[in-house]
Amino acid sequence: MKAGLSLEVKNLSTTFETPLGAVTAVDGVSFDVHPGEVLGLVGESGSGKSVTLRSLIGLIHPPGKVTGQVTWNGQDLLSVPPGRLRRVRGGEIAMIFQEPMTALNPVLTVGLQVEENLRAHTALDRGQRRARAIELFDLVGIPDAKRRLENYPHQFSGGMRQRVMIAIALASNPKLLLADEPTTALDVTIQDQILKLILSLRDELQMGVVLVTHDLGVVAGTCDRIAVMYAGRIVESGSVLEIFDGPRHAYTRGLLASVPQAGAERGPLLAIEGTPPALSALPTGCAFGPRCSFANDACRATRPELAEIGPGRQVACLHHETVAASKGQFA
Amino acid sequence: MHLLLYVLRRIIQLIPTLLFIALVVFLLVHLLPGDPASAMLGDRALTADVNRINHELGLDRPLPVQFLLFLRNLLHGDLGRSIQLHQSVVSLIEQRLPVTILLTVMSALVAVVLALPLAFVAALRRDREADVLIRGTFQIGLSMPVFYIGLLLLTFFGAYLRWFPVGGYGDTFASHLYHLFLPALTLALSLSAVLMRNLRQAILSVIGAEYVDFARAKGLPARLVLLRHVLRNALISTVTLFGLQIGTLLGGAVVTETVFAIPGAGRLMIESIYGRDYPVVQGTTLCLAVVVSLTFLLTDLIQVMLDPRLSR
Amino acid sequence: MTFALSLRGQRRKTRARRIPVSLIVGGAMLAIQLLLAVFPSVFAPYAPDSFDYNALMQPPSLAHLFGTDNFGRDVLSRVIHAYSVDMQIAFFATVLPFLFGTSIGAVIGYTGGLAETIFGRLVDAIITFPFLVLVIAIVAVLGPGLNNMYIAVGVVDWVFYARLAVAEVKVQKRLDYAEAGRAMGYSPARIVFRHLMPNIITPLIVYWMTDMALAILLGSSLGYLGLGAQPPIAEWGVQIADAKNFMGTAWWMSVFPGVAIVVAGLSFSLTGDGVAEKMRTRR
């Protein structure tokens, strides 16, 4: 197996043409993912996290349009021919969906759904594919693998179904795993098991992971770096430690403050006031402005660009120093 | 194992349905104003003949007794005798029903062959020219009565181009197929319109499903995604509809056989109506209804095989 | 994706006030045809049954726009007079099944229980009979003719309306306003017919439109087979049956009645689609 590959995303934008005009769901997003690294893509629902993931491997349906650059293994995935893209999808870059109930085909056995991945990306023969499928089920912790391969998705519990999906995603030893809220639909205990599983596989296979989630608790326990998204843009990024220690965007602060602290006194859970803006009607200037207590006229006039403020540390806020300095407003 | 139990259960459920069919067909003759025998023999019949027929048909006994006799005869494979053709109704149907079934199967195949690719084209080109054209054409086809479609095809491909015979059934199996092609096409047009519309809608509702995106995320070839993931799921509802359409198809077969002079059960039925040959009308109605209920069984089975969630 | 959903919601709102194009076109076409059906002699240039042995099977001309048939009858006039017959078939064959089936279905759906179970079995059994075959069989026994055809259709057809009404009422009766009606102590009949009926009637009307299109197909088919309208009455199916031996030589004899059937069927389907669309946008 070759050493891991890095993913470089530059200026990725995804726009949907609608009867009410174009809606930009992802707006000029850039980030890297290195081998063996877990990048957390964080934000409220509708902030463009899932659309970003889907845009990377060409899963956006018309009338959606994707622009920018997604460099993988020396080529731009947004412009490679379909045949090449198919080899990357599922083979080198695999994706786990949020809802295993709807992401697994209800009328096919899970065995077939594992096998068709192997068939598309490996030279294994029938017997070998079956052996590999059993191996994968063992790997992700599905007991009685041999028998379970003949079952249909509806015969599995929610947690087991998510394991099936992970087994399918990992079938061809991908070098990058895109995980779209892989644990949101699951109980807390199963959530933990699944995340541990993904991490151990990351170590074993040296694969990079992009973990999309709205749950900062999950991020703290699993990710190396974080990119926070708001209204289709990345508003802050950096290492987990840096961001949890000193958030520099008011939105990130708000998100962190709304996480219940383990062991802390049980206080009121703070949420960010207001709701995210509709993508079809973004305010001028900073999209977070209307909900931000630091905002002034400058924020309403220009949209702050994502700026480097340290090595691997970026923020898109005019007042990031004030935000960093003002301790305790939420705590 | 599940499947076997399911089949068994469905066969048991079939029994009351068959009894109901028998009852309706039995009562059919009793709808006749006055007594059936004089209706059959016409106004100038001799009283003696009327009495003889009434007795032959058992019509001089109480209704429930008659029904039980009718059922007993049914179980012995006896549907009475044709007044016009002087043969047992069963032997007539034995000769004629296979023709109708062959015609129906052929037209079902033609309909599927037409509907499948066109539904895909229409769904994948939703609201663009191809879709509008396909749907428009089929909508016009749906508004045409079967006999008229038949006459048009017969005139153009039969009489004018002389590609196909204008009627009849032929002697060998190959010539049966040749003779039945235009009739089958006639019947297939409206069925394929119904199937196409349903399948197009089903494809559109399936194609946005998460599991289709997941299949694409696996890097499967587009053809495999469409056939294995989209089509298999879309077909589930279309198969149900197909089953429900069999009755319409057989009704159309009655008309088509008349248009193309095909010696099938449908034409037998129409001819018997003109000749007031009620036992034959009864017999053919019964058999066609039984064919429909057996087809329901078959389509239910296909559906269970397509959708594993149903078998438990 | 949430934003896509909210967009769809807004688009629906902007569309709601418009009358669907299909309803306008279908309705206009139906209106014209109804006019022809009610006043055929105003529009028809000749009597439908006046023989002219000097003008047998004439192709379309200024004197006879649709040509003449093998008895020298003016095809245009016969097509126009046939509107009276075929529109009458569309209406009379379906109106009683529509009224009876809807009412009985609403009652069965509201009562539920045993009545619904029995009705369900009845539906299962009736759909095993090919509709056309059963209608033909009943007409065969009763004798050919339009009235017997109405009876034959009616015996079977109400079931389909009733099935639809049962399904609709079962949804509606669980909603608040029906509960409120019960709490007010209204009689079941009043709840079903005054309160539930207005809310279930639209899909039934849509089905009625489709059914009228089907009735025209059925009526002309029976006419063609000699079991419906009887010659020399001008009816499209009968006309086509008269023309079937001259398909190649005198195309106009069969083509114009055929087109009339298609246009009539399309008008009903379009109107039905339009009503359905109107209903969708209103919700």
Query: Is C63 strand, coil or helix?
Result: coil
Name the DSSP letter for residue A104. Answer: S
Report the range out of B28-32, B47-51, C42-46, C254-258 with the highest average pLDDT. C254-258
pLDDT in tens, A155-170: 999 889 988 998 999 8
Q: With 80 as the cut, is the pLDDT of residue A20 above it?
A: no
Chain C contact for B292 (CB, 8 A cutoff) = yes
- In chain A, what percentage of residues exceed pLDDT 90? 38
Angle, vertex CA B43, rays to CA B41 and CA B49, nearest 5: 45
Residue for token pair 């731009």: A76
Tell me the residue type at C77: S
What's the mean per-residue pLDDT of chain C? 85
Asked if pLDDT for residue C140 goes beyond 80, the answer is: yes
Contact (CB<8Å) C7/A20: yes
pLDDT of residue B13: 84
Structure confidence at residue C266 (pLDDT): 93
CA distances from C114 to A49, A176, A324 (A): 53, 60, 71
Tell me: pLDDT of C185 over 90. Answer: no
Percent of chain B with pLDDT over 70: 93
List helix spans (H) across A30-73. Answer: 49-56
By C-alpha distance, the chain C residue nearest A17 is C4
C128 and chain A: CB distance < 8 Å anywhere?
no
Cα separation, A169 vs A175, in Å, equals: 11
User: Which pLDDT score, from 0 to 100, does residue C190 have?
Assistant: 85
**C10 at interface of A, judged by CB pairs closer than 8 A:** yes
DSSP-derived letter for residue A89 is B
Higher pLDDT pick, A257 / C148: C148
pLDDT band at A15 (very low <50, low <70, confident <90, very high): very high
Question: C228 and C145 in contact (C-beta within 8 Å)?
Answer: yes
Per residue in B7-22, pLDDT (tens digit) is: 888 888 888 888 988 9
Q: What is the DSSP letter of C173?
A: T
What does the pLDDT look like over C209-220, one tens digit per residue? 999 999 999 999
Chain B residue numbers with beta carbons less than 8 Å from the beta carbon of C258 are: 144, 148, 152
Please name which of A3, A314, A52, A15 lies closest in space to residue A178, comparing C-alpha atoms: A52
pLDDT value at residue C45: 85
Q: Which helix (H) or strand (E) holds A29?
A: strand A21-33
Question: What's the whole-number average pLDDT of chain A?
Answer: 86
Instruction: Domain B89-311: give its CATH superfamily.
Output: MetI-like (1.10.3720.10)
When pLDDT is averaged across residues C170-180 and rounded to a whole number, the result is 81
> How far is CA B9 from each of CA B4, B240, B311, C123, C129, rounded to the nearest angstrom?
9, 18, 11, 19, 21
Is the pLDDT assigned to residue A264 strictly greater than 60? Answer: no
CA B61 → CA B55, B65, B66, distances in Å? 9, 7, 6
Residue C176 pLDDT level (bands cut at 50, 70, 90): confident
Cβ C165 vs Cβ C200: under 8 Å: yes
In sign, the C-alpha dihedral spanning C274, C276, C277, C279 is: positive
Taking the C-alpha atoms of residue A91 and residue B280, their distance in angstroms, rounded to an integer, is 66
| DSSP string over B162-205 | -SS-SS---SSHHHHHHHHHHHHHHHHHHHHHHHHHHHHHHHHH
> Would the pLDDT of A141 be above 60?
yes
- What is the mean pLDDT of the segment spanning B26-31? 80
Question: Is B128 in CB contact (< 8 Å) with chain A?
Answer: no
CB-based contact C247 B154, cutoff 8 Å? yes
What is the 3-state secondary structure of A275-324?
CCCCHHHCCCCCCCHHHCCCCCHHHHHCCCCCEEEECCEEECCCCHHHHH
Q: How far is CA C107 from CA A138, B310, C127, C189, C208, in A?
A: 57, 31, 21, 8, 19
Q: What is the pLDDT of residue B304?
A: 85
How many contacts does A have with B, using Cβ atoms within 8 A? 82
Q: Which of B107, B143, B189, B250 to mutate to test the interface with C (most CBs of C within 10 A)?
A: B143
B-chain residues within 8 Å CB-CB of A154? 308-309
CB A198 within 8 A of CB A212: no
Which pLDDT does position A183 carry in this prediction? 81
Q: Which CATH code fits C28-282?
A: 1.10.3720.10
Mean pLDDT lowest for which of A281-295, B65-79, C10-24?
C10-24
Chain A closest CA to C22's CA: distance in Å?
21
Among residues 205-264 of chain B, which lie with CB inside 8 Å of chain C?
Answer: 244, 246-252, 254-255, 258
Q: Is the pLDDT assigned to residue C272 strictly greater than 60?
A: yes
Q: Report the pLDDT value the prediction gives residue C187, as an integer from 0 to 100.
A: 83
What angle (nearest 5°) sits at the alpha carbon of residue A273, between those of residues A272 and A274? 120
**More confident call, B50 vs A320:** A320
Average pLDDT for chain B:
88
List subunits contacting chain A, requiring 3 or more Cβ pairs under 8 Å: B, C
Interchain CB distance below 8 Å, B285 and C226: no
Strands, E, within A147-261: which ranges? 176-180, 208-213, 225-230, 233-239
**Quick check: A223 and A211 in contact, CB under 8 A?**
yes
d(CA C219, CA C86): 7
Contact residues on chain B for A108, CB-CB shorter than 8 A:
228-229, 232
* pLDDT at residue C248, rounded to an integer: 81
Q: What integer pLDDT is reported at residue A44 of this predicted model?
A: 83
pLDDT band at B308 (very low <50, low <70, confident <90, very high): confident
Q: CB–CB of C70/C57 below 8 Å?
A: yes
Closest CA to B157 of B189, B185, B193, B188: B185
Q: Predicted confidence band at C14 (pLDDT cuts at 50, 70, 90)?
A: very low
Q: What is the pLDDT of residues A81-128, one digit of tens each?
A: 988 899 899 889 999 998 888 999 999 999 999 999 999 999 999 999
| Cβ contact A19–C11 (<8 Å) | yes
Q: What is the pLDDT of residue A259?
A: 67
Residue A75: which H helix or E strand, with range?
Answer: strand A75-76
Q: Taking CB atoms and an 8 Å cutoff, what residues of chain C touch B20?
A: 125, 128
Nearest CA in chain B to A119: B220
pLDDT digits (tens, 9 = 90+) for B192-217: 999 999 999 999 999 989 999 999 99
Residue C61 CB-half CA count within 13 A: 10
Given a cut of 50, whether residue C238 has pLDDT beyond it is yes
Residues 6+ apart with CB under 8 A from A178: A53, A56, A57, A93, A94, A95, A96, A209, A210, A212
CA–CA min distance C281, chain A (Å): 16
CA A202 and chain centroid, separation = 15
Region at B295 (left for phi over 0; alpha for psi -120 to 50; beta for the rest) = alpha
Choose the closest CB to B210 out of A88, A99, A152.
Answer: A99
**ipTM of the assembly?**
0.85
Distance CA A66, CA B35 (A): 79
Cβ of C130 within 8 Å of Cβ of B151? The answer is: no
CA separation for the pair A113, A136 (Å, rounded): 12
Of C142, C237, C266, the CB nearest to B140: C266
Using an 8 Å CB-CB cutoff, list chain B residues near A61: 208
The reply to whether residue A19 touches residue C2, judged by beta carbons under 8 angstroms, is: no
Give C267's contacts in chain B (Cβ within 8 Å): none
Q: How far is A89 from chain B (nearest CA, A)?
A: 5
| Mutation site for C-interface testing, chosen from B31, B84, B148, B288 by largest number of C Cβ within 10 Å | B148
Query: Is pLDDT above 80 for C10?
Result: no
Tokens standing for C257?
């009645």
pLDDT at B220 over 70: yes
Q: Is A46 on the interface with C (CB under 8 A)?
A: yes
Q: Is the pLDDT of residue C138 over 50?
A: yes
Domain range annotation of chain B = 89-311
Helix, strand, coil % over all residues of chain B, rounded to 5:
80, 0, 20
Nearest to A76, CA basis, from A62, A60, A88: A88
Name every chain C residue with its beta carbon within 8 A of the beta carbon of B139: 266, 269
* pLDDT at B41 (0 to 100): 67
Structure tokens at C5: 């959903």
Q: Is the confidence at residue A1, as pLDDT, over 80?
A: no
Q: Is A232 an 8 Å CB contact of chain C? A: no
Strand order in the sheet with A208-213: A93-96, A176-180, A208-213, A38-42, A225-230, A233-239, A313-315, A307-310
- Phi first, then psi, for residue C47 (nearest 5°) are -75, 145
- 3-state DSSP assignment of residue A138: helix
Q: B 135-154 residues with CB below 8 A of C? A: 139-140, 142-148, 151-152, 154
By CA distance, what is A85's nearest residue in B? B219
B148/C226 CB distance under 8 A:
no
Q: What is the pLDDT of residues B242-291, one digit of tens each?
A: 988 998 999 999 999 999 999 999 999 999 988 888 889 999 999 999 99
DSSP state of C58: P
C211 neighbourhood in chain B, CB within 8 Å: none
CA B40, B46, B50, B55 torsion-angle sign = negative
Which stretch of B123-127, C129-133, C182-186 has the lowest confidence by average pLDDT?
A: C182-186
**Please, are residues C192 and C165 in contact by the beta-carbon 8 Å criterion?**
no
Cβ distance of A45 and C2 shorter than 8 Å: yes
pLDDT of residue C46: 84
Measure the N-to-C terminal CA separation of chain C; round to a whole number of Å.
22
pLDDT at A175 over 80: yes
Q: What is the pLDDT of residue B269?
A: 93
Residue C123 pLDDT grade (very low, low, confident, very high; cuts 50, 70, 90): confident
Residues whose CB is less than 8 angstroms from the CB of residue A251 and which lie 6 or more positions away in sequence, other chains included: A228, A230, A235, A236, A272, A288, A291, A292
Mean pLDDT across B25-36: 73
Q: At what angle do helices B278-306 and B2-30 cross, to 10 degrees?
A: 160
Answer whether C4 touches A (CB < 8 Å).
Answer: yes
3-state secondary structure of A116: helix
Chains near B with 3+ CB pairs less than 8 A apart are A, C
CA dihedral C216, C218, C220, C223 (to 10 degrees): -140
